[in-house]
């Protein structure tokens, strides 16, 4: 019998089924990659729009926060109307930036959107035109009053005066491969000076709360205090300034425990006519171990022997003259003589001493100055100090009168001992159980009581030796200031007494070479608190996780500058020059630096000097914001604002060319005359190149003058040091 042989294979139907299944699988895989690519592009474009929007909002905030700034007064509320235009897409306002109590073209700001190019403009009436952001398709302003109620736009004159908060909403949009990407960002700004009455210096009325207790002697007795209208005005003003107050009648003065109560100053009340104390009270007052401010001339003469022949004068207080010009009680009082009371308050009674005994020092006096205004005995011994203060009608005080009163109080407060160095409160640990991704405790105190291990090596340091120096960027609100001192420490403070401001010193540190498995990182900070500094939750050291890191395009400290090579060039016209200095302690700088000035003293015409940094921007994408950090010191150089004719002036800017006459973009005036001669200060300049990023740009430092800089505060010129150019690496291809 023959064996049958069966041959197996795929039928046509089976083949069609397999091909169909494979087609479905490949289609699914293809759709997965397409969706992934689309999601990647979406996320990248949205991140770029968000970064651009954040930078634009920061620049707008830095401008709008100044609205209404008028530091030295001289304006009534009717005269000072800083908000000029307030519509849904335009905001115009004034700020007295130079602080001269008058308005110039550069004190005006106009913020609006150029819809043809999708960029924001900040302009003034002096020719300044600052470009803010890119790909901004719409801007919307909303305005709120002091109670948070929205005001109807466009605002009329009454509503413009009521503006206290400004809300900005930006819509950003970009197109890529036919897709439209859009994001909306919003912030609210509260200009600190809007709504402040500008007939006085607003900074004076917002001192930090003094930690002091004051006794005020008032009418009445221990059963019922009945302060007069002027005593109430004094109490209200002292309370407004933040002092702790104790009211005492005459019969309570002798029995009060001054030693253990923490009292710092005693005010003795003024009495019309003869002032007769209870038996024994005068003896008690003489030995009170704190300064006493005497408002009545009888007390000054009879109790403390400060003078004789006291008199009482009806009518307004005359002008007071500064007898000792530099005495602390005259701080912030510009006029000499000055009025303590508002003009002609009417019906007031003024007391004063006609004759001064020897040993009584006259600090401020009436015109003529033979009679007392503010006088003192035992000035050098605060516990025995007695001050005759002759203006007791506090209801009628002028702004200069309030300054005088406040200064007299501060002068009599005891000096506080400097606080100890700050102790380590929180430290940062990055130790994990193993390599790979782990969760970090942001504040974790596991660093062996804060003592670094014996094999610890400094990675980064601040201005000192060892490791790599950290690169810092400084930001301050108006009236704030960060100064790098001669001992290479940072000092953060206000330029004058006033409300709280924000100072930020920021440094980005690259930790990519280190792992959580084998490396433990320490942050050590030494700090010193000022005498009147109140520490709160906004003070301290903070760690921030950035969406991207900051890349350094150029860093130049001039220590090893090879002249004519590298990324820095120097240009000058017939008389312009530059000099690279070795460390010059006499110029308040102990590292190498560069000076721009004239090579011929008294040259005519003025010389133009340039320091030009070549920046490779070929790897940057559009919208990249570039920041230049630098140090500057002035040598009696006058202010020369940017002039496009010949690119003259003292300024920093950028250009697409490196010639001395090439067009300068976004110039920012350096205003060297605004700063103390020979003192090094840190500055930041930020700009955004055009939508199509060029392959190279040039950062320009310019000086204009006709004299040689021969010392830190002699002749003319500007010095520069420690220049870094930074960019967020999210804009690097």
Neighbours of 424 (CB within 10 A): 15
Averaged over 562-586, what is the pLDDT? 73
- Measure the CA–CA gap between 93 and 134, rounded to whole angstroms: 23
pLDDT at res. 203: 42
Contacts of 33 (CB under 8 A, 6+ apart): none
Task: Name the nearest CA neighbour of 373 among 395, 342, 351.
Answer: 351
DSSP state of 732: B
Q: Which helix (H) or strand (E) holds 412?
A: helix 399-412
Assigned token pair, 156: 């009329």
Cα distance between residue 577 and residue 586, in whole Å = 21
Q: Which pLDDT score, from 0 to 100, does residue 613 have?
A: 87
Q: Which residue has the higher pLDDT, 119 or 70?
A: 119
Are 468 and 459 in contact, with CB atoms under 8 Å apart? yes
Cis, bond preceding 713 (omega within 30 deg of 0)? no
Residue pair 649/642 in contact by the 8 Å Cβ criterion:
yes
pLDDT computed for residue 463 by the predictor: 57
Residue 565: pLDDT band (50, 70, 90) is very low
Place of tokens 């002249």: 563
- The set of residues, in sequence order, having a beta carbon less than 8 Å from that of 16 and lying 6+ positions away, is none
Query: Which of 129-133, 319-323, 572-576, 626-630 has the lowest average pLDDT?
Result: 572-576
Instruction: Supply the DSSP string of 337-353, one letter for each residue.
Output: SB-SBPS---S-EEEEE
What SS3 class is residue 220?
strand
Handedness of CA 537, 543, 548, 554 (dihedral sign): positive
> Which residues share a beta bridge with 113?
120
What number is the average pLDDT over the span 696-701?
Answer: 91
Given a contact cutoff of 8 angstroms between Cβ atoms, the answer to whether 197 and 203 are in contact is: no
CA dihedral 627, 632, 636, 638 (to 10 degrees): -10
Q: Is the model's pLDDT at 364 over the cut of 50?
A: yes
- pLDDT, one tens digit per residue, over 615-630 is 888 888 877 888 888 8
| Whole-number pLDDT of residue 507 | 74
Query: Tokens representing 173?
Result: 């949009």
Nearest 10 degrees: Cα torsion 25, 30, 32, 38: -170
Bridge partners of residue 593, in order along the sequence: 581
Q: Which residue has the tokens 């109670």?
A: 147
Taking residue 197's Cβ as centre, other Cβ atoms within 10 Å add up to 14
Tell me how far apart the alpha carbons of residues 84 and 156 are, in angstroms, rounded to a whole number: 10
Give the C-alpha separation, 374 to 700, whole Å: 55
**Would the pLDDT of 454 be above 50?**
no
Q: Which helix (H) or strand (E) holds 236?
A: helix 229-240
Reference 723, options 592, 595, 629; nearest CA is 629
Which pLDDT band, with edges at 50, 70 and 90, does 349 fall under? low
585: tokens are 């302690």
Distance separating alpha carbons of residues 706 and 637, to the nearest angstrom: 10
385: left (phi over 0), alpha (psi -120 to 50) or beta: beta
> Taking all residues of the chain, what is their mean pLDDT, rounded to a whole number?
78
The pLDDT score that the predictor gives to residue 207 is 43
| Closest to 636 in 3D by CA, of 712, 727, 578, 572 | 712
- Contact (Cβ atoms closer than 8 angstroms) between residue 14 and residue 21: no
The predicted model gives 649-666 an average pLDDT of 88
Q: Give the Cα separation of 709 and 598 in Å (integer).
A: 8
pLDDT at 313 over 60: yes
Tokens, residue 610: 């340039």
Quote the tokens at residue 701. Answer: 């430092």
Nearest to 212 by CA among 179, 238, 187: 238
With b meaning 16 or more CB within 10 Å and e meaning fewer, what string describes 92-116?
Answer: bbbbbbeeeeebeebbbbbbbbeee
Q: What percent of the chain has pLDDT over 90?
A: 11
Contact indicator for 397, 341 with CB cutoff of 8 Å: yes
Q: What is the pLDDT of residue 284?
A: 82
Statement: residue 145 has pLDDT above 60: yes
The two three-digit tokens of residue 644, written as one number: 């496009």
Question: What does the alpha-carbon distance between residue 58 and residue 224 come to, in Å, rounded to a whole number?
Answer: 56
Query: Which of 91-105, 136-150, 560-574, 609-623 is the least confident region?
Result: 560-574
Alpha carbon 11 to chain centroid, angstroms: 83
Nearest Cα to Cα of residue 66 among 81, 82, 79: 82
Residue 581 vs residue 537, higher pLDDT? 581
Question: What span, in angstroms and rounded, lies between the C-alpha atoms of 266 and 79?
Answer: 40
Q: Which residues make Cβ contacts (< 8 Å) with residue 77, sequence separation at least 6? A: 161, 197, 198, 199
The 696-705 sheet, strands edge to edge = 568-572, 607-616, 696-705, 651-655, 665-669
pLDDT at position 86: 92
- CB within 8 Å of 497: residues ≥ 6 apart: 203, 204, 206, 207, 208, 332
Q: What is the structure's pLDDT at 149?
A: 86
- Band of residue 168 on the pLDDT scale cut at 50, 70, 90: very high
For residues 654, 657, 658, 663, the Cα torsion angle rounded to the nearest 10 degrees is -60
Long-range contacts of 180-183 (CB under 8 A, 24+ apart): 181/42, 181/45, 181/46, 181/49, 182/49, 182/137, 183/46, 183/49, 183/50, 183/53
pLDDT at 511: 67
Q: Which residues contact 423 (CB under 8 A, 6 or more apart)?
A: none
Position 418 scores a pLDDT of: 40
pLDDT at position 529: 74
Task: Quickly state the pLDDT bin for 199 (edges 50, 70, 90).
Answer: low
Q: Among the listed ranges 197-201, 307-311, 453-457, 536-540, which one has the minimum average pLDDT value?
A: 453-457
What's the alpha-carbon Rg for the chain, to the nearest Å? 34
* Percentage helix, strand, coil for the chain under 3-state DSSP, each rounded to 5: 20, 30, 50
Say what the pTM is: 0.37
- Whole-Å CA distances, 671 to 123, 261, 683: 18, 51, 12
Q: Cβ contacts of residue 251 below 8 Å, gap of 6+?
A: 221, 222, 278
CB 551 within 8 A of CB 510: no
Query: Band of the pLDDT at 428, cuts 50, 70, 90?
Result: very low
> Does the structure show a pLDDT above 90 at 429?
no
Mean pLDDT of 564-588: 75
Among 9-23, 224-238, 248-262, 632-646, the least confident range: 9-23
Predicted confidence at residue 5, as pLDDT, reads: 59
Instruction: Count how many Cα atoms sit within 13 Å of the Cα of residue 699 in the half-sphere of its side chain.
Output: 26
Partnered with residue 142 across adjacent β-strands are 167
- Supply the pLDDT for residue 459: 64
Helix (H) or strand (E) segment spanning residue 656: none
For position 9, what pLDDT does the model report? 67
Place of tokens 């890529």: 176
């Amino acid at each position: 019998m023959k064996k049958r042989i069966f041959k197996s294979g795929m039928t046509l139907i089976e083949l069609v089924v397999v091909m169909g299944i494979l087609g479905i699988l490949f289609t699914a895989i293809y759709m997965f990659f397409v969706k992934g690519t689309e999601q990647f592009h979406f996320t990248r474009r949205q991140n770029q729009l968000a970064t651009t929007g954040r930078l634009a909002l920061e620049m707008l905030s830095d401008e709008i926060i100044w609205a209404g700034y008028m530091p030295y007064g001289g304006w009534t509320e009717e005269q000072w109307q800083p908000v000029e235009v307030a519509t849904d897409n335009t905001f115009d306002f004034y700020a007295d930036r130079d602080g001269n109590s008058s308005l110039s073209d550069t004190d005006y700001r106009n913020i609006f959107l150029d819809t043809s190019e999708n960029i924001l403009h900040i302009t003034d009436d002096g020719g300044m035109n600052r470009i803010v952001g890119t790909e901004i398709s719409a801007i919307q302003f909303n305005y709120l009053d002091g109670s948070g109620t929205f005001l109807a736009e466009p605002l009329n004159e009454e509503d413009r005066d009521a503006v206290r908060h400004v809300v900005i909403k930006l819509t950003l949009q970009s197109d890529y491969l036919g897709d439209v990407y859009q994001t909306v960002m919003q912030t609210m700004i509260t200009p600190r000076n809007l709504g402040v009455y500008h007939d006085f210096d607003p900074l004076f009325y917002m001192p930090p709360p003094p930690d002091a207790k004051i006794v005020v002697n008032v009418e009445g007795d221990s059963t019922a205090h009945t302060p007069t209208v002027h005593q109430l005005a004094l109490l209200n003003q002292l309370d407004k300034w933040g002092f702790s107050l104790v009211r005492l009648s005459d019969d309570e003065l002798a029995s009060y425990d001054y030693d253990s109560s923490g009292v710092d100053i005693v005010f003795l009340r003024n009495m019309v006519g003869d002032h007769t104390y209870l038996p024994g009270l005068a003896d008690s007052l003489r030995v009170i171990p704190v300064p006493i401010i005497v408002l009545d001339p009888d007390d000054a003469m009879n109790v403390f022997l400060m003078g004789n022949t006291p008199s009482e004068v009806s009518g307004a207080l005359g002008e007071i003259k500064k007898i000792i010009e530099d005495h602390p009680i005259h701080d912030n009082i510009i006029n000499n003589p000055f009025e303590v009371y508002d003009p002609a308050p009417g019906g007031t009674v003024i007391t004063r001493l006609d004759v001064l005994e020897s040993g009584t020092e006259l600090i401020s006096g009436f015109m003529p100055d033979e009679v007392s205004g503010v006088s003192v005995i035992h000035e050098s011994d605060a516990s025995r100090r007695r001050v005759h203060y002759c203006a007791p009608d506090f209801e009628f005080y002028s702004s200069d009168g309030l300054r005088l009163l406040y200064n007299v109080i501060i002068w009599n407060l005891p000096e506080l001992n400097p606080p100890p160095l700050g102790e380590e409160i929180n430290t940062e640990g990055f130790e994990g159980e193993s390599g790979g991704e782990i969760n970090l405790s942001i504040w974790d105190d596991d660093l062996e009581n804060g003592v670094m291990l014996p094999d610890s090596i400094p990675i980064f340091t601040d201005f000192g030796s060892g490791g790599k120096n950290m690169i810092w960027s400084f930001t301050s609100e108006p009236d704030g200031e960060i100064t790098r001192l001669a001992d290479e420490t940072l000092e953060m403070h206000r330029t004058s007494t006033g409300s709280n401001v924000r100072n930020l010193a920021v440094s980005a540190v690259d930790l990519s070479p280190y792992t959580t498995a084998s490396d433990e990182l320490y942050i050590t900070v030494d700090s010193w608190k000022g005498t009147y500094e109140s520490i709160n939750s906004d003070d301290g050291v903070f760690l921030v996780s950035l969406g991207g890191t900051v890349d350094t395009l150029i860093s130049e400290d001039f220590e090893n500058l090879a002249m004519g090579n590298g990324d820095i060039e120097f240009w000058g016209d017939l008389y312009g020059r530059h000099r690279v200095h070795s460390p010059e302690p006499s110029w308040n700088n102990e590292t190498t630096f560069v000076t721009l000035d004239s090579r011929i003293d008294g040259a005519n015409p003025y010389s133009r000097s340039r320091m030009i940094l070549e920046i490779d921007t070929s790897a940057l994408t559009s919208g990249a914001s570039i920041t230049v950090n630098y140090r500057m010191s002035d040598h009696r150089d006058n202010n020369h604002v940017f002039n496009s004719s010949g690119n003259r002036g003292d300024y920093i800017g950028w250009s697409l060319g490196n010639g001395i006459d090439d067009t300068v973009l976004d110039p920012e005036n350096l205003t060297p005359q605004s700063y103390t001669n020979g003192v090094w200060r840190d500055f930041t300049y930020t700009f955004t190149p055009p939508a199509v990023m060029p392959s190279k740009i040039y950062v320009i430092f310019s000086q204009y003058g006709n004299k040689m800089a021969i010392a830190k505060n002699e002749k003319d010129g500007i010095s520069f040091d420690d220049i870094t150019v930074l960019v967020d690496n999210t804009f690097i291809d």
